[in-house]
Amino acid sequence: MTREGGLLAGDIGATNIRLSYFGEEAGRLVQGWSSQYRVADVPGIREALERFLLEAMEAGEFRPVAAAAFGCAGTIRDGRLVSSQLPWGVDAATIAGALGLGSVQLVNDLVANALGIPELAPKDFAVLNDGVEEPDGNAVLISPGTGLGESILVRDGSGFRPIPSEGGNASFAPRNAEEIELLEWLMGEFGHVSCERILSGPGLVNLYRFERSRAREPEPRWLKDRIAELGDVAPAVTEAALSEGDPVCQRTLERYASILGGEAGNLALKGLATGGVFLGGGISPKILPKLRDGSFFAAFCDKGRLGPVLSRMPVKVVLDDRCALLGAARAASSSPR
């Protein structure tokens, strides 16, 4: 760890909390003791921190903390997390008190992911389009997971400055007659239909229900059993689609990849992402074979006369699930001590 104390970084999502010590060597982050907890299993962030510190102490890995930062799924206002996805609140002052620090940083999870991208090596990305990266161009990040995060990464010198956003809650824009049908079907259930209603884990389930009702084919018994075994529809549908075990699941994932490509293209145009397009979150690496088969990139470039501009943009999937944690650690390392 650093001479004056180490860094504590957190990635607080809707499902899991990840906490880790970090140090710095020659300007690079070095990860130390780490733990992960399910949000449902802890009554609050303070209790998660107490558990982490106790476990580190018992393992002989306890370190003094000089600075801390946490990437959080939601909006940060006045040092507090505003989120409908967590059962309890997150407050910077509460965390600072628990750690004995004067202050800690809370940043949006997409900001944390964006800050983590420069910390990754080439092996930590899957390239969907080589493109031509413009050294002074902006980039964008779109991250489907429990929710849908979006951020524009403004070029700032040799790096990027991430702009927090709630772009995932912007309205879904259908691109063809079948997607209009999907929009109308979802409007009947939700009223306003955001991109997150489709491009997320719960969104994939919505899309599967639409495709199942549209096909008028009963769900196979083996698929029902697999869903029950996993306790979640989304991974069972993804598994069946990638193994070509069920045509409805295959159509679900095909449409998901296409809609994701269309929305990634929308974001790339808004940010003029000639510096690159990054796909983060937990879902993209799991459906990588589908993202590579052409449906994603065809929809990404399907923007009329701007199609050639998009076709030249580098597009990469972030494979390292520590990206947001690394970004939080970088935010901590940059904070006043």
336 pLDDT band, cuts 50/70/90, is low
Q: Tokens for 243, please give them.
A: 């193994």
Q: What is the CATH number of the domain that holds 49?
A: 3.30.420.40
Quick one: 77 and 195 in the same domain? no
In a domain, 220, yes or no: yes
Rounded Cα gap, residues 36 and 282, in angstroms = 15
Whether residue 1 has pLDDT greater than 60:
no
From the list 282, 328, 317, the residue with the least C-alpha distance to 34 is 328
Quick one: 72 and 88 in the same domain? yes
Q: What is the pLDDT of residues 172-230, one digit of tens each?
A: 999 999 999 999 999 999 999 999 999 999 999 999 999 999 999 899 999 999 999 99
Quick one: 248 and 295 in the same domain? yes
27 pLDDT band, cuts 50/70/90, is confident
Quick one: 185 and 303 in the same domain? yes
In a domain, 54, yes or no: yes
Quick one: 222 and 310 in the same domain? yes
Quick one: 284 and 326 in the same domain? no
Amino acid identity at 57 = M
In a domain, 139, yes or no: no
In a domain, 125, yes or no: no
* Domain that includes residue 189, residue range: 167-318
Rounded Cα gap, residues 331 and 107, in angstroms = 8
**Residue pair 4/313 in contact by the 8 Å Cβ criterion:** no
In a domain, 180, yes or no: yes
Quick one: 205 and 98 in the same domain? no
In a domain, 129, yes or no: no
In a domain, 137, yes or no: no
Number of domains in the chain: 2
Q: Tokens for 209, please give them.
A: 């229900």
Quick one: 178 and 241 in the same domain? yes
In a domain, 152, yes or no: no
- Cβ neighbours of 171 (radius 10 Å): 11
Quick one: 14 and 112 in the same domain? yes
Q: What is the pLDDT of residues 36-82, one digit of tens each?
A: 999 999 999 999 999 999 999 999 999 899 999 999 988 899 999 98
Q: Looking at the chain, how many residues does it have?
A: 337
Please say whether the dihedral angle defined by the alpha carbons of residues 207, 210, 216 and 218, taken in this order, is positive or negative: positive
Using DSSP, state whether 209 is helix, strand or coil.
helix
Q: What is the CATH number of the domain that holds 228?
A: 3.40.367.20
Quick one: 172 and 278 in the same domain? yes
Quick one: 102 and 194 in the same domain? no
Quick one: 309 and 174 in the same domain? yes
Work out the burial of residue 92: count CB atoms within 10 Å of its CB; fewer than 13 is exposed, 13-18 middle, 19 or more buried. Answer: buried
